[in-house]
Structure 1
Amino acid sequence: MSIMKEQEHQEEHMPKEEQDQQQSPQDAAEPMENIESVEVSEEDPRIAELQKALDDSQRQVEKLREDLVRYAADFENFRKQKEREARVAGERAVENLMREILPVVDDVDRVMQHSAATLSNSDQARPFVEGVELLRKNLMNWLDKKGVKKIEAQGQKMDVNFHEAITQLDHPDAEPDTVIEEYQAGYMLGEKVLRHSKVVVSK
């Protein structure tokens, strides 16, 4: 029997496991090549398209989020501006109302200064004087509740922030630039001057 026939005879009677182990390297590499070809085939173009669509969606979501934050900030600024405008308008309305009432206060003060001493000596006029005093008291209480305060002037150092000098006079008992007479009372609304006190100042 020739050598080739003897090898064929041996392979025919060799167990299958040993035959598999004796396969050539080329035959063993074929399954790996098939696996790689399968993996490559899984790189479907649709995956890239889906990834691109996902990235686009994420960018759109981020843009919408930024827009929402900006709109919320704009709305908050708008709300604060309207609140500020409403507050300023309310303060201006109160300020104008107080200025309109001040002449009434002046009239009541003049009645008290020039007529009270004379009328109080008359029994018939006393109820009138008491009525005027009560009116002034109630009026000043109302102004006080609204935040209106009388500016102190008599005997104070002249202050252009609160006083308006209408004239200057020599006064032996007063230091220079001292208020020696109040011609018209001044008032403040909170920290704001409604009307400066008109005063006479010593030289």
Structure 2
Amino acid sequence: MSDKNPNSQDKDARPEDQIDTANASGLEEDQSTLEDAAVEALNQAEEASAEKELSVEETQAAEIADLKEKLLRAMAETENIRRRSEKEKEDAHNYAITKFARDMLSVSDNLRRALESVPAESREDEAVKTLLTGVEMTDAELISTFGKHKIEPVEAEGQKFDPNFHQAMFEIENPEVEPGTVLQVVQSGYVISGRLLRPALVGVAKGGQKKAVKVDQSA
């Protein structure tokens, strides 16, 4: 009869089974750890990808904003150039004849002097009358032509002296008017399209104390 317990073999075999179970359990834990690490790595990769996509969108938005600003500046500069070109074109049209117009003013002055120089008694002569009529018509036609080209006379007599349009030649003492009032026009001034072509040569009131008026109270 054997001294060994029949169950002893089962006891001897169990440690191996226990090792296999332990190994299996360890493998499961390692596998779970790897899965967790893989999930975490995947999440990190997705987050990085999202951040990268956001960064690309922000970069594109910044580039679009920059291009839009450059476009607006270019459009504004183009508009400014167009306006300057139109202004230069308009100025060239309005003031191209400035020198010629200034020379023609001398012709008009001479015609007027010729009319004013004829004595009153000579105006009764038929030949002189005919000549004066022709000169007057020529002067009127010249003034009309000036108006067509925006060449207009400067208002002076009775106006307040304006150094932008008037040139004082002398002073006239007159206590009845406000000092600086234009009393006499020696030579007419003109503007072309609002710009001074020639100043008016004028005599200006000097002013002074008005004479006191005595009232007779004895009556």
- Provide the TM-score with structure 1 as the length reference: 0.60
Partner of residue 68, structure 2: 65
Of residues 71, 75, 81, the one that matches 1:78 is: 81
Tell me how far 1:143 sits from its aligned partner.
1.7
Of all paired residues, the percent bearing the same amino acid is: 25
Q: 1:72 to 1:168 in 2, by over 3 A?
A: closer
Counterpart Cα distance in 1 of 2:147 and 2:47: 82
Runs of 4+ in 1 over 6 A off after TM superposition: 36-40
Q: 1:56-75 deviations in whole A, cap 9, x for unaligned? A: 44443333222222222222
Counterpart Cα distance in 1 of 2:70 and 2:174: 72
- Are 1:146 and 2:149 counterparts? yes
Counterpart Cα distance in 1 of 2:61 and 2:184: 78
Partner of residue 112, structure 2: 109
Counterpart amino acid of residue 187 in structure 1: Y
Mapped contact 1:185–1:196 kept (Cα < 8 A): yes
Counterpart Cα distance in 1 of 2:79 and 2:161: 42
Partner of residue 98, structure 1: 101
| RMSD of aligned Cα (Å) | 4.1
Tell me how far 1:170 sits from its aligned partner.
5.7
Tell me how far 1:186 sits from its aligned partner.
1.8
Mapped contact 1:119–1:129 kept (Cα < 8 A): no
Q: Secondary structure at the match of 2:71?
A: helix
Indicate the larger mover: 193-202 or 127-136: 193-202
Partner of residue 193, structure 1: 196
- Are 1:168 and 2:175 counterparts? no
Tell me how far 1:79 sits from its aligned partner.
2.2
Q: Secondary structure at the match of 2:131?
A: helix
Counterpart amino acid of residue 78 in structure 2: F
- Provide the TM-score with structure 2 as the length reference: 0.56
Q: Secondary structure at the match of 1:126?
A: helix
- Paired residues, what number? 172
What are the within-5 Å matches in structure 2 for residues 37-76 of structure 1? 51=53, 55-76=58-79
Counterpart Cα distance in 2 of 1:175 and 1:44: 94
Q: Secondary structure at the match of 1:159?
A: coil
Q: Secondary structure at the match of 2:124?
A: coil
Q: 1:39 to 1:168 in 2, by over 3 A?
A: closer
Counterpart Cα distance in 2 of 1:157 and 1:74: 44
Tell me how far 1:132 sits from its aligned partner.
1.2
Unpaired stretches in structure 1, ≥5 consecutive residues:
1-29
Unpaired stretches in structure 2, ≥5 consecutive residues:
1-30, 207-219
Of residues 178, 182, 186, the one that matches 2:185 is: 182
Tell me how far 1:93 sits from its aligned partner.
2.6
Counterpart amino acid of residue 109 in structure 2: D
